[in-house]
Structure 1
Amino acid sequence: MFEIAVEHEFCAAHALSISGVRETLHGHNFHITVGIRGKTTDADGLLCDFHTVRELLMELVEPFDNANLHETDAFRDSNPSAENIAKYFGDTLGQRLDDSLAPHARVAWVRVTEAPGCAATYWRTQP
């Protein structure tokens, strides 16, 4: 089994609703890590090109950078928790990348760290 990881950061604000109580609006430097996993490499000996994943990740992050996450289409009607952010990026990256990575690899997981020691991971495949 092979795995690569690609990382990117963005700044954004949110005010989570926790047990019906809304937090004060505050910001984070969100750190996103994407895991690509597969059993074999391609003819070039690569699971996939790091640059392909990074460029797509940067494109997907752009609407969220320096934004209030509640005002974005992705989180207008949902709580922008680290878990939900990880799921959004995992599903979106998977939709955009899995076909081009097939049959040897796929987007396996996305981890979102909102503060040192505070991270959420969304697994698209079993760990």
Structure 2
Amino acid sequence: AGGQGEGNGLTQLPCPLGLVVDQLGTIYVTDDGNHRIMRWPKGATQGSVIVGGNGGGGQSNQLNGPVGLSFDRHDCDHCEENTDWVLASEPLSHSFQTVKLTHHLLWTVDTNQ
């Protein structure tokens, strides 16, 4: 994932801050520099934007500096960013939504060992 210098292309990650690999080997990366979350299925040569990528902001189709990403035991992912929007999704069904929160702090704990 990445490795092609800075930019907003599907092979570029100017500021990756969060990374998760799911049970199928798919890589998910928060790309702070492009205000997006990228997905690379196992063996892919380029990623796809699964949310964001429309500039930084507080609209439901935007992220603003996503900094973290985690999956819970139900394979739902959660993204922490610098605004009041948080991404919640079902990666296996490819269904995504953003949720408006106010004054939040996101913590995740993995109890699977």
TM-score, L = length of structure 2: 0.30
Which entry has the higher C-alpha Rg, 1 or 2? 1
More helix by share: 1
Q: TM-score, normalised by structure 1?
A: 0.28
